Chains A and B, each alone.
Chain A
Amino acid sequence: MKEKEGFVDCPEQQMILYVEKEDGHYGPMQTGSYITKNYIDDYFTKRNNLVISLREQINRREISPVKFFMIFEDLTINELSARTHIPLRKIKKHMLPGHFEQLPEDILNRYAAVFNVTIEQLLKADPGTELQNAEATKP
């Protein structure tokens, strides 16, 4: 790839791309992310739609906030189990609203820490600032 073809004007996400310089040598250039520059709107649209869809499932009492965050943060049940030190069979129960509502604070804390949210956000299935900041962070 030639240097002039590699430049993307995206100060919000900078990266290093290896390119062919004018003198024929290959080397690094600092540039921006093509996908962030061109498709970040689409990313936030999909994230917003995912939140709406998962919250509808919570409202229909099909899933609990544990399942919400597991899907939102792209974690498998095995990963969540290894990270929270909660057995798989218990997590499967915690993904259902009835069981989730009876969880003690220490278990809620373990989930909240892994999902990097407060307990309040966990209970409300609120992923925090990511979506609120979508407009502000748009390149």
Chain B
Amino acid sequence: MTSIPFSHKMGAHCESGTVTSLLNHAGLTISEPMVFGIASGIFFGYFHKHKSFTFPTFIVRNRPGDIRKNIRKRLGVEFQTYSFKREQDGIAKLDELLTRGIPVASQVDFYYMDYVPSWERAHVNVHFMVVIGKEGAEYIISDSYFPKPERLNEESLRRGRFAGGNMSPKGFLFFPQDVPNEVDLKKPILKGIQKACFNMLKIPVPFVGIKGIRLFAKRVVDWPKFARDTEHLSHEVMKINILLEDQGTGGAGFRFMYATFLQQAAEIVNKPGLKDLSSELMIIGDGWREISLFAARIGKNRDLGPEKMKELSEMIMERAQVEEEFFKKLKQSIK
């Protein structure tokens, strides 16, 4: 078996990049920001304590898997999905699909992807990439985080697909089975925006949406209490930069990609107000990027005393304020 002809393309984010590549392969021309926006990908959640995290952390996107599920619901794309109790069944199914010439998305623990440089690796069970072929004992992987297709040995893919723990992949595979040739994007765009506004403004949980950003701002000053030592605190504070910029967000915790979606959406739904809001979100994103750079700088300098942590907290609190106003305006704009 060799590689299936597949147009490899880098994406900002692993799940939206994977879904976009598969839809493009199936004949539907759609951009990654459009997939992300229709699927209500923009989000915020803060976890001060969680049994699966060694340190307080936050997320800036909706629940893993929801991009695919929302695209199915809103665009009418049917995805064939598989998960497995027995590893050998999962391995056999992947090989069979590849033999049939079907590129398949696979959920894995990022840590076992040998083509990833050591400093980028982390045990995260919700990484998505497309398997596009197999040569001997190596799979050929189209991972949207990388400029070209990579190779991965069978054992590493097996470990990644069948890692246990929180959100265990269970060998999960999916591919689009039935894709409409043309879709009217107007309703899906409006539905996607409506749900994103609900997620950011209305979910009655104190650690999600705007409330989650405020909680992050309030609790980040307590981070030193959780750290083993100054270097550990420095590492965790610098991870704010990684979570907002490097971990597949398109910059500023997905704010730049969502602004791109709103700009594209404005023309399709003929609501010029969305274009103004896209510019506003780009500026809000610049503020998140300032937080990223500030976190990296104080972490590197070990300048992590109460005053700097308070300054960081105030910068985050300011983002909560501007995002609350932004999402209220966004909600109004689609009525």
Contact of A26 among B112, B241, B259 (CB under 8 A): B259
Take A13-B117, A36-B246, A83-B165 as given contacts and tell me if A25 and B263 are in contact as well, using a CB distance cutoff of 8 Å.
yes
Q: For the complex, what is the distance from the CA of A78 to the CA of B166, rounded to whole Å?
A: 9
Interface range for B = 35 or more
Set of chain B residues within 8 Å of A36, measured between Cβ atoms: 119, 246
Set of chain B residues within 8 Å of A79, measured between Cβ atoms: 51-52, 123, 165-166
Take A34-B296, A39-B300, A116-B111 as given contacts and tell me if A82 and B119 are in contact as well, using a CB distance cutoff of 8 Å.
no
A30 near B250: Cβ-Cβ < 8 Å: no
A42 contacts the other chain (CB 8 A)? yes
Please give me the residue from chain B that is nearest to A83 by CB atom: B164
Set of chain A residues within 8 Å of B33, measured between Cβ atoms: 18, 26
A107 contacts the other chain (CB 8 A)? no
The tally of residues in A whose CB lies under 8 Å from a CB in B reads 46
A30 near B147: Cβ-Cβ < 8 Å: yes
Set of chain B residues within 8 Å of A39, measured between Cβ atoms: 238, 296, 299-300
A73 near B256: Cβ-Cβ < 8 Å: no
Among the stretches B62-70, B197-205, B278-286, the one at the interface with A is: B278-286
Q: Which of A25, A30, A116 lies at the interface centre, i.e. has the most chain B CB atoms within 10 A of its CB?
A: A116
B107 contacts the other chain (CB 8 A)? no
A40 contacts the other chain (CB 8 A)? yes
What's the minimum C-beta distance from A89 to chain B, rounded to whole angstroms? Answer: 15
A35 near B242: Cβ-Cβ < 8 Å: yes
A102 contacts the other chain (CB 8 A)? no
Q: For the complex, what is the distance from the CA of A137 to the CA of B118, rounded to whole Å?
A: 9
Q: Which 4 A-B pairs have the closest CB atoms?
A: A18-B256, A130-B118, A26-B260, A83-B164
**Beyond the given A28-B32, A34-B245, could you list 5 further A-B residue pairs with CB under 8 A, ordered by the A residue number?**
A15-B248, A18-B12, A28-B260, A36-B119, A36-B246
A-B contact pairs, 22 of them (CB 8 A): A1-B251, A12-B117, A13-B246, A14-B10, A14-B147, A16-B12, A17-B12, A18-B251, A26-B263, A26-B282, A28-B12, A33-B245, A34-B292, A34-B293, A35-B296, A43-B235, A50-B231, A73-B111, A74-B123, A75-B123, A76-B52, A130-B119
